[in-house]
Structure 1
Amino acid sequence: FVPADGSGKVTAVLSEAGKSYGAPEISPDGKQLAFLVSPSEGVNFPQIGLATLNGPTASNPQLVTFDRAAGNLVWTEVATAAKGKKTTSSYAIYFTASSNGGIPLYKLDPATRQVTQLTDFETGVTAFDAANNQVVLAKTEVSNPSELYVADASAKSQTKLSNHNDWVAQRQLSFPEKHTYKNSLGQTVDYWIMKPTFFEASKKYPLLLNMHGGPTAMWGPGEASMWHEFQYMCSQGYGVVYANPRGSGGYGIAFQRANIKDWGTGPAEDVLAAESAAAKEAWVDTSRQVITGGSYAGYLTAWIVGHDNRFKAAFAQRGVYDLTTFLGEGNAWRLVPNYFAYPWTPEAKVLDANSPYTFVQNIKTPLLIKHGENDLRTGAIQSEMMYKSLKILGRPVEYVRMPGATHELSRSGNVRQRIDRLLRIYEFFERYVGPEAQGLSQK
């Protein structure tokens, strides 16, 4: 706490050794504080906390039982009740959390610390506000990437307010079909299969396994960032399969921690199980399968082609390939001690055992590697080393280093480079599984 006029000293509102506090939100009556807190080290996500405000300090902090990574806390007055000459107010806290392939809106009762889910797993609430027993929200869904809606306090009876993407109604889309897989740990893994947009039952199509990064990211029908890429690849005649393997966010802390000291073998099992299931679809040409992913999934792409030869081509984007050098190269270096160990400890052998670079000599799949020149998250040296080694080994490899690009190239980077990236994915895969490649193989 710091007085607004700068006249007083800095006072710690809440603090505890080994914990990180953030996102403080004060109730409308100024009596309560909502916040997020998590351990400072390890594989974790923030939990919601509630405390009583006593001037510049808070007391009696209590955590809310909720096994998802909550965010965007918003207090609102949901009711007022007159009792004699006194008026008492009832408050709620709205928030969102990635969960089971969507980003639902939730409502927390501060008095009971009970959480209620208000929207479904098939859509995603990307932004919202709540007041006067109403909620205004921006919602993404497969049929429409983003529109504004107004609803009652329970987020029911939603009325559409905007029409930003009326062109979508004039386009044909591919819709994901959800499936599940029980992995070797006994966990349920969600995955989705998307048919080619202009699907014809009499034809066979290539299949693209597209994987998410993080490793704590989460994909699904309610996640917005991949809408254009999925729809583009499907419109070009590819089937797409994507999964949330062990280690993904959106499925609770135990699931998120299931890839500690195991970034390769376990998650690869999960995504390849999804790919194998999709490959059984009657419309899939199993001889034309390709794979891609970015950031951690760039890692996973390289790991898989170093251990499996089923794919005709692979595209590894902004990845990490050697965990030891990653410690000094990328600003996400804390992933190394959080998931594995420091290189100077007795447990350091786990770094080599989990590095795709350790298995570079096994990579025979044609590989396109991309990295942004100013990528500080994973560091371009990661891809330089992988590329040079594959060239020395005489393997089919190409490298694209985007001038001025950061780790955000596929999301919020330079628009022309984002278009270039998408076209490069398509062009590279077409060389190996497109009509011309198919014709050449038949000859």
Structure 2
Amino acid sequence: MTSETVISNQAGGRRQQTAQSAAAARPATPFHDLEHYIALPRLSTLALSADGTRLVTAVTTLDSKATGYTTALWELDPAGVQPARRLTRSAKGEAGAAFARNGDLLFTSARPGPDAEADGEDTPAALWVLPAAGGEGSLLLSRPGGVGAVWAARDADTVVVTAEVLAGSADEQDDADRRKARKDRKVGAILHSGYPVRFWDRDLGPSQTRHFVLEPEPGPDDAGLPGTTDAQPPLRLRNITPDAGAALLETGAVLSPDGGTLLTGFRIPLGRGDTRSVLAAVDTATGGRHILLDSADADYQPGPVSPDGTTAVVVRELIPGPERIPEVALGLVPLAGGEFTPLAAEWDRWPSPAGWLPDGSAVVVTADEDGRTPVFLVDASSGAVRRVTADDAAYSDVVVSPDGRYAYALRSSYLFPPEPVRIDLATGRTEPLPSPADRPQLPGRLEEVEAGAPDGTRVRAWLVLPAEASAADPVPLLLWVHGGPLGSWNAWNWRWCPWVLAARGYAVLLPDPALSTGYGRDFVRRGWGRWGQEPYTDLMAVTDEAVKRPDIDAGRTAAMGGSFGGYMANWIAGHTDRFRAIVSHASLWALDQFGPTTDVSTYWEKEMTAAMAEANSPHLHVGQIRTPMLVIHGDKDYRVPIGEGLRLWYELLSRSGLPADGQDGTAHRFLYFPDENHWVLSPQHARVWYAVVEHFLARHVLGRDTGLPPELGL
């Protein structure tokens, strides 16, 4: 035996030992280790080229420091044969993918341009292009205020983008000068004359949204848009909504196939800080705007335009009141002007339109239904509805192939995170496409639970069970209430992932109580303005049903929720002591205080009268709370302002019925995030969030100490 052979064998043995050690250290599933969990890749959005040969998705992964996420664009094979292929790579990431008519891929990125100076400061997102013929991405256009969403016409070279402008700016140069002055003088002040002044987690103003057409700088050798010539002329943005003011705040927009019309929601002021969204059609050539739909009792948002460019699908949402729910319905409207014609008016679901069949015969939509979100076809003439997908999944980001045979979508459920699939629209058969990310192994199984509410209504829930749950070894139960409240536990959620808790031995109950979508209008009406009544009794009924199971330990239960789910956690705490611990994240506590301080108080005032708010306010029952509570809140949460968490925490300490807890003083805890918003999005804080929740539940439900993250300094 030669020395080289001995060295080779020794090296092979060391590699085998290293592999065995790594395997021993590797968690059973990614959900058993929070570092592994937050590092799982996450898919979002789909873009399909006009000829149907290219499909692009966005994949989000941890950055190099594991303190943030970055997103790259990947190409998928619509035929399902070739593996996924990464298209972009930059530390800043990429987003907003849209295919131009010629196949060029447009996207936005804050990566530095070729002539950028490294000043150590963040740069705003700019518009970039990847040529259809291949090659590196190149910068098309940058501006100090950045570039937002991108739309490209299917049958024309028209490209429209959204961008922010300072409200008083006369043109792009003036906007750049004003921004420079604010930056150089470090001015952050904003003078408001309207409402709202903030939204979710961002301060509004002094910038406002505008729509722009991308076009060449005028000149004798005007050569068109990206990819049409080898020598690309300089590009500029032409503002087609210069007088919009704040009308484009949180509104949707779609571009007609011929690029001639941009349909957009457009907010008109009603006085007293309130607005209503009408449907506006903007001529992309002239900037001329006319209102297509305007009703005193409804908001309108645009859906896709028919392949022949004559008709748009429209989403109408009735403006709610204390006795009226915000019903969502589809309709059709001619782009030339006309009435709103209801589409599938008798269908008792709240649909979201995705696209038309190429022959204009039907509209592809998704809608929540019984804990799923299937794909449906709605006949454009008769309004007849046909369910296409028959599985237990939720579909999103649906795009239709140019031949109308297939739709492509991201599919998820509580068994797997979003993955790309191809749907045969005739048969409903769904096939996975080669994906940039594999399905993670789960630490258990998924079942359903149903119960009868006190009024006889059927209430259903998903039940996530750890692998070890059995009649011989029953496991503790965690009731997890969804937010919204108009929503449903039907799709994978990275922020609210039950498998992290299942990996720690808990069964997790995910119920859809009154107010949940996917069960019809009457199911929503049961809880409208009655948050502490039917939603609460529904939750208790389905919990009662779950704890009857032999694989559930009825003596070890806890409850938690975020946003509206946090409200319900607070309400539960004041109305029953059946749970050993309760976690309340970003929760509503005192409804009289919440109403005037949330980011859109005008909406809240429509939902509940003062009497309703008082009858359903958890803070009035603080003296009945005898269950240890973990309060969690982010300071940048504008939807449920930090004052709710601060008041809840103080009143738990000063007025709740829970006795003191030895040297700790109280069994309650308050986890505060100064830099997070409604959801706690950064990976390092998400890890802390799950770890503290695990610690709190383990202490009170399991009677053991799991330890706290050392970064908390405790």
Say whether the fold is shared (TM-score over 0.5): yes
Q: Distance in 2 between matches of 1:175 and 1:246?
A: 26
Q: Distance in 1 between matches of 2:543 and 2:694?
A: 19
Q: 1:47 to 1:418 in 2, by over 3 A?
A: same
1:84 corresponds to: none
Which residue, 330, 334, 348 being the options, matches 1:52? 334
1:31 corresponds to: 310
Which residue, 511, 515, 520 being the options, matches 1:243? 511
Indicate yes or no: 2:312 matched with 1:40: no
Indicate yes or no: 2:615 matched with 1:353: yes
Deviation at 1:11, TM superposition (A): 1.0
CA contact (8 A) 2:353 2:363 kept: no
2:128 corresponds to: none
CA contact (8 A) 1:146 1:165 kept: no
Q: 1:60 to 1:385 in 2, by over 3 A?
A: closer
CA contact (8 A) 1:38 1:47 kept: yes
CA contact (8 A) 2:581 2:628 kept: yes
Q: Distance in 2 between matches of 1:200 and 1:19?
A: 51
Q: Provide the alpha-carbon RMSD of the alignment.
A: 2.1
Number of equivalent positions: 411
Which residue, 586, 597, 600 being the options, matches 1:329? 597
Structure 1: which amino acid aligns with 2:416?
N
Q: Distance in 1 between matches of 2:509 and 2:497?
A: 12
Structure 1 regions of 5+ residues with no counterpart? Answer: 78-88, 342-347, 438-443
Structure 2 regions of 5+ residues with no counterpart? Answer: 1-280, 659-666, 706-714
Q: Distance in 1 between matches of 2:627 and 2:419?
A: 41
CA contact (8 A) 1:97 1:250 kept: yes
Mapping of 1:29-428 within 5 angstroms?
A: 29-42=308-321, 43-53=325-335, 55=336, 57-59=337-339, 61-65=341-345, 66-77=347-358, 89-120=359-390, 122-131=392-401, 132=403, 133-154=405-426, 156-166=428-438, 168=440, 171-220=441-490, 223-225=491-493, 229-334=497-602, 336-341=604-609, 348-393=610-655, 395=658, 396-409=667-680, 413-428=681-696
Structure 2: which amino acid aligns with 1:75?
W
Deviation at 1:424, TM superposition (A): 1.3
Deviations 1:145-195 (A, max 9, x none): 122112322363322212344352xx3442322122222333211122222
Q: Secondary structure at the match of 1:325?
A: helix
Deviation at 1:370, TM superposition (A): 0.5
Deviations 1:285-337 (A, max 9, x none): 22211110000110111111101001111100000011111111112534543
Q: Distance in 1 between matches of 2:623 and 2:438?
A: 50
Q: Provide TM-score, normalisation by structure 1.
A: 0.87
Structure 2: which amino acid aligns with 1:147?
E
Rg larger for: 2
Indicate yes or no: 2:268 matched with 1:6: no
Q: Percent identity?
A: 24
Q: 1:335 to 1:3 in 2, by over 3 A?
A: closer
Deviation at 1:352, TM superposition (A): 1.9
Q: 1:333 to 1:120 in 2, by over 3 A?
A: farther
Deviations 1:343-397 (A, max 9, x none): xxxxx33322210000011111000100111000011101111110111136432
Deviations 1:103-162 (A, max 9, x none): 101111101111111113610112221121211121113332122112322363322212
Deviation at 1:29, TM superposition (A): 0.8
Q: 1:90 to 1:230 in 2, by over 3 A?
A: same
Deviations 1:201-257 (A, max 9, x none): 42232111111111111013xx12169721111111111112100111111111112
Q: Which moved more, 1:226-235 or 1:144-153?
A: 226-235
Deviation at 1:277, TM superposition (A): 1.2
Deviation at 1:60, TM superposition (A): 5.8
Q: Distance in 2 between matches of 1:76 and 1:203?
A: 52
Q: 1:350 to 1:156 in 2, by over 3 A?
A: closer
Q: 1:40 to 1:353 in 2, by over 3 A?
A: closer
CA contact (8 A) 2:416 2:492 kept: no
Q: Which moved more, 1:384-393 or 1:199-208?
A: 199-208
CA contact (8 A) 1:103 1:121 kept: no
Q: Distance in 2 between matches of 1:281 and 1:332?
A: 43
CA contact (8 A) 2:320 2:607 kept: no
CA contact (8 A) 1:368 1:428 kept: yes
**Structure having the larger proportion of residues in helix:** 1
Q: Distance in 2 between matches of 1:47 and 1:110?
A: 14
